[in-house]
Amino acid sequence: ILSVEYIRIEDFPETSEPVWILGQQFSALTEKDEILADVTSRLWFTYRKNFQPIGGTGPTSDTGWGCMLRCGQMILGQALICRHLGRDWRWSPGQRQRAEYINILNAFIDKKDSYYSIHQIAQMGVGEGKSIGQWYGPNTVAQVLKKLAVFDSWSRLAVHVAMDNTVVIEEISEGACAVSEEPREMNGDLEGACALAEEETALWKPLVLLIPLRLGLSDINEAYIEPLKQCFMMPQSLGVIGGKPNSAHYFIGFVGDELIYLDPHTTQPAVDPNEDEQFPDDSYHCQHPPCRMHICELDPSIAAGFFCQTEDDFDDWCAQIRKVPKP
């Protein structure tokens, strides 16, 4: 089903208000090309059809039920881009792509053995009480992504899902720090050995922090609007997954009181990367101005995402969060 919002494809408004996209600020008056290049470089995962049956005998398309699963793929895809390519990386259509980029895309291909495929997410969701083909909420998809990331030995992410609207710093530290198993000898230099051991026992794993939130009962409480905007302004921002009831979007920024988002509600044929040597990746990038909707239309149930490549990034995020005015 093609959502109504998908039809609202229009250029950015002529406004002096800043455009914020995943922690980067742009001018709608002088940087429209840069805005579009940034948006187009995000991975755009949509409904697909004609893929291998999920579970061997299940659905061959996720049209009508997979939108939140696709949004989960998009927010994690952005984390992998930041992890392996950097936030400033830009996609160039028709050119030979970097090996890291191809590896990232392969992790999401609609096949049962891809780390974060629709097959893996749908089947892992059974353990969260969701049957295959059932619609997910933001919290469910966050929990599933946390479980799947454990198997991605290439990215070595620590995915943490903060529950009860609370980020417990000790829990993050335990999850994101990998303990070094083998202490190294320092030729009898005891002081140096202790210092090195202390440094190496806590090796930071890049952190994906997913925070399921409820910003009101049936509508978003206006007190949360400014704090939500500030999430998109942080350099660690991975955006927000949410939308309207049973209609999920991947929100990547805002301009004024409008949220900017990528919409998964269009069905494209499944891509087989074995078709030729060059990965056919055009359909994984939204090459028109992104959709917008007024922030008050947002369903109050969301999950916000943040990526901290280093422990310093996490410390900086904590400092910024503490400055956000409490509603």
Nearest to 15 by CA among 296, 325, 292: 292
What CA–CA distance (Å, rounded) separates 28 from 249?
A: 22
Q: Which tokens sit at 88? A: 């400033």
* CB-neighbour burial class of residue 230 (10 A; exposed 0-12, middle 13-18, buried 19+): middle
Indicate if 189 belongs to the active site: no
Q: Which one is catalytic: 62, 67, 249, 286?
A: 67
Determine the longest span between alpha carbons in the chain, in angstroms: 70
Indicate if 82 belongs to the active site: no
Indicate if 265 belongs to the active site: yes
Q: Which tokens sit at 258? A: 């409008």
Q: Which one is catalytic: 38, 62, 110, 263?
A: 263
Nearest to 215 by CA among 229, 205, 203: 229
Q: Which tokens sit at 60? A: 């061959």
Nearest to 141 by CA among 39, 45, 68: 68
Structural contact between residues 253 and 23, judged by C-beta atoms closer than 8 angstroms: no
Q: What angle do CA 14, 291, 41 make, to 5 degrees?
A: 95
Structural contact between residues 303 and 242, judged by C-beta atoms closer than 8 angstroms: yes
Q: Which one is catalytic: 119, 160, 249, 265?
A: 265
What CA–CA distance (Å, rounded) separates 220 from 216?
A: 5
Please give the positions annotated as active site.
67, 263, 265
